[in-house]
Structure 1
Amino acid sequence: MHRDHELHTRRKGRNFGLLAVLLAFIVLIFGLTVVKIQTGGFAEAFDHVSRPAIVPQDAVPEVSE
């Protein structure tokens, strides 16, 4: 058996710190995604198409035939 060099010990600590930061970021993104899906936020895609659901009724021109 051999002892790890002090440099390896410090790197291991930094690697665990980076792992914690990355896991926190992944959990944050996953949580935001779950909340968006549950609340129905951004259900209609941003595809530059007129959405009748958000147009006020008094702003819609009447069609006469």
Structure 2
Amino acid sequence: MGIRAEHEIHTRRRGRNLGVGLLLAAFVVLVMALTFVKITNIDFNDLPGGELQTQESN
């Protein structure tokens, strides 16, 4: 049995699968980055002497 040429629909399907895979990977990276930022967020009001200076307008 000889090797047949790849059908055109398989080429389009491969391109679509690659696009979906890249979008899924980007979404996973986004969720991981947001989680990392949320976990490592420092609340400066909890630090000793860390009261924020605000300017009040009269």
Cα offset for 1:40?
Answer: 4.6
Give me the identity figure in percent: 49
Aligned length: 42
What amino acid sits opposite 1:25 in the alignment? F
What's the counterpart of residue 52 of structure 1?
Answer: none
What's the counterpart of residue 5 of structure 1?
Answer: 7
What amino acid sits opposite 2:9 in the alignment? L
What root-mean-square deviation, in Å, do the aligned CA atoms of Structure 1 and Structure 2 show? 1.8
SS in 1 for 2:27: helix
**Structure 1: gaps spanning 5 or more residues:** 42-65
| Residues 2-37 of structure 1 deviation map (CA, whole Å, 9 limit, x = unaligned) | 221000100000000000000000000000000001
Runs of 4+ off more than 4 Å: none
**Structure 2: gaps spanning 5 or more residues:** 44-58
Structure 2-normalised TM-score?
Answer: 0.65
In structure 2, which of residues 5, 24, 31 is the aligned counterpart of residue 29 of structure 1?
A: 31
Distance 1:22 1:40 in 2: 29
What amino acid sits opposite 2:7 in the alignment? H
Distance 1:29 1:37 in 2: 12
